[in-house]
A and B are shown apart, each in its own frame.
Chain A
């Protein structure tokens, strides 16, 4: 089947502002949007810029706005979109070229929440013990692939670039509720600041968009509760 593809293009070395470009692409219904973009890049216009690597939804490189929703281009199939596909760069991050946005502000927020296990007690000779129940507590938030789909779907983030955003909060959750970690108080203090967890207005865009199916809004509410309890 032939699909009609519109892509929001921008080349900083040539264009003063973004413009829409249209392409006709022969596809199979089971093609990924990434395959469609590759077809354009490899056969119609080699100047098209987009990030991608693993092509099966694990590396998190190819997040973009597809038919109005944030998705990974390698995880959505043509058959689920119909014969008109519109592709734009993620919102809320500066566009570098075509579908490539500046990821530095996103990773800067991630780094703010101390996204690493802190436990400076001397470790045992073998593993630290953790019960399956304790492990299950963080299962959902350990799935995050840092694709930025959630943060760039969040209207609070669009309106306020200071907000840590859902992805950084997910990272904080993953450590705060890890039974082996010892820095929950420090992280909760960071999240309690004005740009932190309470900026979330439970819009659920993040949860809807997450390609890993993480219950992000729920995780953020657990963080809010932990902050409140830590003050009590």
Chain B
């Protein structure tokens, strides 16, 4: 069993992980390793399209207080406002940092970073749309990922590519390292480190129609949950309004930021009825619900389960220069030219607002009293700070990974100045080894792919955009059945080298865990707020539910108050 010694180990090489690694790598005297199940430039940050929200005011007047307000209101007042203030304030300096690292932002005629409109981002506390999203065409995430990876290479960060982390080492409640499986050889490695950070992204693959990569299976959240860390606000899952019909591939909100319009079978701009003020730039939860309502009432295209995203009134130049990627997606996957034909779209599972609970320095907390787990960090989609509350605004996922990835890196550097090396128990890899052997040798005839498909189809049906108690209970029962079948899987591949059959089986275990946390939390919260819409409890209920859910793996719930500083909860209208 190979053993490695590092000061910090970062799991995941998207924006949050790489920014933290870069902050540590720049210290020069720290040994930093990034472990990724992929090659770092394959991480899903690279799929982010539209932009990064920051009140630079390059195009028109803007203030971080407006950005903070939009974030709080967008999250239906479940956002922790101390965290939202940090997000909105530090977004600005973080953008400048990234620019100095080389990110090729689009530019205004006077050479500043160009900005555009995005859903839910407003001036004067909700008066109307504002140009806040800093962008590089519709490839903003790609540019972030490339820039941070490049600077990590320059700054002495060690990469372990295609290393799947399968366990977290905690000794007396202190982070001590991780166990990782080298996919190429099938060997287990132990990484000893005084600080461990999870930046493993989301779990959109629990749903059938999803914008997420196949590899987004909730690994980091599941690993922490199994080691006794609660998961926060798991009931809040965002569906992005405009996924390409059936494929789920994202058509960026930047499309509507640049003027595209959603239409039903009668060609009607239906958002006029749901959000008279912001129209097609209302927050995502509101538009996704409006779309499902249109479809349920028979106004989907040809009466089917999709609608049209209409670009045909926009100049071709806007498509070619500002939205080249999504224009190419429509052409490649649908054979549709958006300049002349509308694009069929439906809501697609997109983003987990909940996750591993942390404080504003990315430190993982273990309970409702905010007790930190020394040396353990999380940031990005796998974490819950919480800056997104019940519904994330467009662009704020990139702001989150950058601001809190950077902060986690800085705090780890501080922590490592004091922290002592933690001794690890004998055979730290034994649990992981046992689990992988069990999966490899199990022989009940069940297939991983079939279980995963059924999980995703049922989650879409019973735990999707509209929910109710009966469906959620049905889903919980279904999860029990799927777990039984998971215990009886048979793999085709019994080898060790690049055994993706085994990898997918292990990932399915994570999917089942995060799906269960999602369903249990959704069943438990008897109100509707943001992306969590209960048909049997259609109203927001601040008296009982203005609080964060913490769910432990043993089924125990705890609750954390929402931090409210500047903005008292109000009715949420757009």
> Which listed residue (A14, A58, A114) contacts B142, Cβ 8 A?
A58
B106 interface contact, C-beta 8 A:
yes
Query: Are A53 and B492 in contact, with the CB atoms below 8 A?
Result: no
1/0 per residue, CB under 8 A from B, across A198-210: the answer is 0000000000000
Query: Are A181 and B102 in contact, with the CB atoms below 8 A?
Result: yes
> Which listed residue (A45, A61, A126, A135) contacts B106, Cβ 8 A?
A135
22 A-B residue pairs with CB within 8 Å: A14-B495, A42-B448, A42-B449, A46-B447, A46-B491, A53-B44, A56-B333, A58-B47, A59-B41, A96-B497, A103-B161, A107-B39, A111-B153, A116-B154, A127-B99, A127-B105, A132-B108, A135-B106, A142-B143, A143-B139, A146-B41, A180-B102
Assembly CA distance A61 to B500 (angstroms): 14
> Which listed residue (A56, A57, A131, A175) contacts B107, Cβ 8 A?
A131
- Which of B94-116 touch A at CB < 8 Å? 95-96, 99-102, 104-113
> Which listed residue (A50, A56, A130, A143) contacts B47, Cβ 8 A?
A56
B interface residues, tally (CB under 8 Å):
63
Query: Are A135 and B107 in contact, with the CB atoms below 8 A?
Result: yes
A77 interface contact, C-beta 8 A:
yes
B46 interface contact, C-beta 8 A:
yes
Task: In the A-B complex, list the 9 residue pairs whose CB atoms are closest, starting with the nearest.
Answer: A117-B102, A46-B492, A42-B449, A129-B111, A116-B150, A59-B42, A47-B493, A46-B501, A53-B213
* Chain A residues within 8 Å of B, Cβ to Cβ: 11-14, 30, 32, 41-43, 45-47, 49-61, 75, 77, 96-97, 100, 103, 107, 111, 114-117, 119, 123, 125-132, 134-135, 138-139, 142-146, 175, 178, 180-181
Assembly CA distance A51 to B106 (angstroms): 32
In the bound complex, residues from chain A placing their C-beta under 8 Å from that of B154 are: 114, 116
Q: How far is the CB of B321 from chain A (nearest CB, A)?
A: 9
In the bound complex, residues from chain A placing their C-beta under 8 Å from that of B497 are: 11-13, 96-97
* Chain B residues within 8 Å of A, Cβ to Cβ: 38-39, 41-44, 46-47, 56, 95-96, 99-102, 104-113, 136-137, 139, 142-143, 146-147, 150-151, 153-154, 161, 184, 213-215, 247, 249, 325, 329, 332-335, 447-450, 491-493, 495-501
In the bound complex, residues from chain B placing their C-beta under 8 Å from that of A117 are: 101-102, 147, 150-151
Known A107-B39, A129-B111; contact A75-B96, beta-carbon cutoff 8 A: no
Query: Are B496 and A13 in contact, with the CB atoms below 8 A?
Result: yes
Query: Are A11 and B107 in contact, with the CB atoms below 8 A?
Result: no
Q: In this complex, which of B154, B161, B447 has the most chain A Cβ atoms within 10 angstroms of its Cβ?
A: B154
Q: How far is the CB of A16 from chain B (nearest CB, A)?
A: 15
In the bound complex, residues from chain A placing their C-beta under 8 Å from that of B184 are: 96
Q: How far is the CB of A49 from chain B (nearest CB, A)?
A: 5
Assembly CA distance A61 to B249 (angstroms): 17
Q: Which residue of A lies closest to B492 (CB)?
A: A46
In the bound complex, residues from chain A placing their C-beta under 8 Å from that of B136 are: 142
Q: How far is the CB of A171 from chain B (nearest CB, A)?
A: 9
Query: Are A116 and B112 in contact, with the CB atoms below 8 A?
Result: no
